[in-house]
Structure 1
């Protein structure tokens, strides 16, 4: 029975979707072609197949590439054919099929690229799991970017999808191959790097040639479809990041109900502004409601998909403490924190090891002091801001626009030391 259950995750489900789809918007038509690959389904047997399956093994799925039509609606011209990334992957780009990609693998890579397109100026790594980033970081080299992103949340990164915006060299490949991932995507792989990565037999190794030109996709929109349970659909334009540089950030100014103006007193430092812009790029790819913390161009903790903003702030802080303690434990003893707890309960390790890690984590406040708080929407109350300030954050970036913005600004001014805050004027919900 157990083997039958395991087998279903490796079985490629045949799909009954057509080879071509046409979608008509009034008098304009977009044409999509199904993407398939010639793969070895069993030793010596080559067949042409599409996606392994959808989100789950009992769901048929298909991948389509835009191949015809140029859509213009109002003043917006949408992305044109010939710019495929994930949707245009060929057999030559799948350097190792691994278990063969499913919908989840490719949508994870796609959301990585959604974030990476705003981080093109320096080596960067995005690690995504279940369509949310686990860790995102810049580095002086692509190896450093990967290591920083991985160490930001090595627990969640297990089995995730990695996307890198520079060629993978041997050093980076060695670092990746030491851990377990489902997918790695990069614009190219230097000589010897693929051979190192292939030590992981189930790893999908993907080359996406336009990753090094992702910045060209910054302002390009697509039409997004949301299917409803009754067969209906909602369509919308995709989001575009409006924060390209410091000049796009706005001072945090608001008025109290009595008309008195309240202004954030402290200006952010150059480092904080860099982290604000970096964090906002990451926030574009996080499921809302979300709050995240970044420091030195690396995520510290990412809170995702909660119904209330103070709740997601508390969860992000909790995650920061959990990940910090786990990393200390892993660096010190070579095991996860949860394994340390188990071995202590079994009498295999002294409790002093856990106490030492817990005390250091609390003393360092999980690395949160000096970090920038990023929120995808305004704060309806000051509670989330107060919770974050208590942990030592030094600056906040948020859209602004709440009738209680003045309360959040006052929370920053009352802090000791004062906290900086800037507005983006853009909400970036993602559902």
Structure 2
């Protein structure tokens, strides 16, 4: 008779699976709560204590950590010496292990969970069983996922589980234990306050295989953070439209990063190819939309739109007039949703904005041979710390506009220049190899220059040419980080044109 060891936290679909194992000639060894469930279902089980001759101790911390269990898993059936050792010590081989692990992830996701509770939900015996069974996959079938129950039963019913399937299940088990240990590692590292661990362990869960990646010849997959964030494009509820593409997700993520900067009044961010083509704000969402649209009525075509207020009918009717890829908002009024959903392909996403200030995690980017990791750029901007460096002092209105432009340039690809008034962006220059070209692009888009216009630069001016271009265009206020060895040249140029210029002391590169 073959033997199966069953010990699971997730007991969904367990009883039918084990009943089929019994019908196929397996005897069942089980532990604790799993044994109770099987016994109540009328399935005869053998307790682990009967196998080991030793009781569960230390409040269940030690149950299966015993040679009578692990030798039964690790013995090679093709090795006569192994089999002789089993016979000598009266150890029965174990042919199938069905184990899933203590709910550590679910425990640490609970609000206010204490360290002691988290520690008690670190499974020790379960990973040991899985690792042992997986190491000996040529002789042992290891099952960690209820999604695999049917396949295992199907193959057993035909004779035995194939070696190919056992190999695949073993690899899956090691992925599970690696991910499990990664979460424990992340949690404990955070608890002890280590910011730069010598090993960085990250784990993600497959969400879907995508149609393609950045281009149609590139395969792509979407993986979700194992500890999901509430304010994330992956947490949004899609109300209408096709699945999001690889590029859609990247653009939508940028739109969310930008829109969370603007909380105090209705704001609309139009994102195009990872850069804002228009940001508008107003007393109403409709007014904010009008201003975002006016910022660049050409580039907004096919854009990704993020709004920080629920979409109303008036705003929806205006958005409906042009082609948009995605609209993200904290909600949609029923009549607004009806209007926008008339377009088959537009993606409409609803996301809870109450979590927009949740603590961010490290962001990573791949490079050949490794990854870069950094904190997110979520610095709260504080104009009271800014330094006026010119003879002309900015007015209160200019300072308010500078803050708006500064937040906009923060989410524009470097080299980044944004020209804006206190209602909307007027011109955006992004991603140029030199700053003066970005300045020329932004100023050209802003022409004719609004008398309220300010210019924001994400990093310092290496020369005074950007200040000169701003002065010649009629811009009267500039916000920039400062810190160049030629700052004095830029200050003198600003004074020449009567420009009020402030240094923030902080740059916002976005590569």
TM-score (ref. length: structure 2): 0.60
Which secondary structure does the structure 2 equivalent of 1:183 belong to?
strand
The gaps in structure 1 that reach 5 residues or longer are 1-17, 37-49, 69-80, 253-263, 322-365
Partner of 1:334: none
Alignment match of 2:207 (pick from 29, 35, 52) = 35
**C-alpha distance in 2 between matches for 1:380 and 1:157:** 31
The change in CA–CA distance for 1:186 and 1:419 in structure 2 (over 3 A counts) is: same
TM superposition shift of 1:428: 0.8
TM superposition shift of 1:285: 0.9
Identify the structure with the greater helix proportion: 2
**C-alpha distance in 1 between matches for 2:490 and 2:229:** 46
The gaps in structure 2 that reach 5 residues or longer are 1-171, 186-196
**C-alpha distance in 1 between matches for 2:483 and 2:425:** 25
Which secondary structure does the structure 2 equivalent of 1:311 belong to?
helix
TM superposition shift of 1:278: 0.9
Higher relative CO (Cα under 8 Å, sequence separation at least 6) belongs to 1
TM-score (ref. length: structure 1): 0.70
Partner of 2:501: 421
Which secondary structure does the structure 2 equivalent of 1:240 belong to?
coil
TM superposition shift of 1:241: 2.7
1:14-163 equivalent positions in 2, closer than 5 A: 22=179, 26=198, 29-36=201-208, 50-68=209-227, 81-89=228-236, 93-98=237-242, 100-163=243-306
Partner of 2:388: 251
Which secondary structure does the structure 1 equivalent of 2:316 belong to?
helix
**C-alpha distance in 2 between matches for 1:396 and 1:119:** 20
* Structure 1 residue 315 corresponds to structure 2 residue 441: yes
User: Contact conserved, 2:362 with 2:373, CA < 8 A, in 1?
Assistant: yes
**C-alpha distance in 2 between matches for 1:115 and 1:97:** 23
Return structure 1 stretches of 4+ with deviation > 6 angstroms. 18-21
Partner of 1:374: 456
Partner of 2:128: none
Identify the structure with the greater strand proportion: 1
**C-alpha distance in 2 between matches for 1:320 and 1:30:** 44
Count residues with an aligned counterpart. Answer: 322
The change in CA–CA distance for 1:65 and 1:267 in structure 2 (over 3 A counts) is: same
Q: Deviations over 1:50-76 (max 9, x none)?
A: 5342211222222222233xxxxxxxx
Partner of 1:398: 480
User: Contact conserved, 2:233 with 2:256, CA < 8 A, in 1?
Assistant: no
**C-alpha distance in 1 between matches for 2:257 and 2:210:** 21
Which secondary structure does the structure 2 equivalent of 1:280 belong to?
helix
Which secondary structure does the structure 2 equivalent of 1:182 belong to?
strand
Alignment match of 1:194 (pick from 337, 347, 352) = 337
Partner of 2:371: 233
**C-alpha distance in 2 between matches for 1:310 and 1:190:** 44
TM superposition shift of 1:131: 0.6
User: Contact conserved, 1:65 with 1:88, CA < 8 A, in 2?
Assistant: no
**C-alpha distance in 1 between matches for 2:266 and 2:354:** 10
* Structure 1 residue 267 corresponds to structure 2 residue 439: no
Which secondary structure does the structure 2 equivalent of 1:373 belong to?
strand
Partner of 1:383: 465
Rg bigger for which structure?
A: 2
